[in-house]
């Protein structure tokens, strides 16, 4: 059931959670608040300069590749939500 993109895989995984654990609480706010979170927890960027890439049949060019990673941001946001949820539960402080 794996798809080509992480976005599609995440959607499929959420659907499986809904089917297998209908009483589970699923928070899908991350996508909506992600631009605001960048002010607190910036995305990690990694730039690779002068990487040889194939651009067509027999052609190669030097390019700069920048990749962003939101894992730290997502984990921090998830932990914040968990902490806030625990504060709502009596006798969990």
Residue 35 pLDDT level (bands cut at 50, 70, 90): very high
Task: Say how far apart CA 6 and CA 3 lie, in whole Å.
Answer: 8
Quote the percentage of the chain above a pLDDT of 90: 49
With 0.85 as the threshold, say if the pTM is over it: no
Q: What is the tens place of the pLDDT at every residue in 47-62?
A: 877 666 677 777 777 7
| DSSP-derived pairing of the beta strands 59-69 and 44-56 | antiparallel
Q: Residues in the chain, how many?
A: 93
Instruction: Kindly report the number of other CB atoms within 10 A of residue 73's CB atom.
Output: 19
């Amino acid at each position: 059931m794996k798809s080509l993109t992480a976005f599609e895989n995440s959607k499929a995984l959420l659907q499986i959670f809904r089917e297998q654990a209908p009483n589970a609480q699923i928070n899908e706010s991350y996508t909506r608040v992600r631009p605001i979170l960048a002010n607190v927890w910036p995305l990690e960027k990694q730039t690779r300069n002068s990487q040889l890439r194939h651009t067509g049949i027999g052609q190669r060019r030097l390019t700069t590749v920048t990749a962003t990673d939101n894992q730290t941001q997502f984990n921090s946001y998830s932990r914040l939500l968990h902490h806030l949820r625990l504060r709502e539960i009596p006798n969990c402080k």
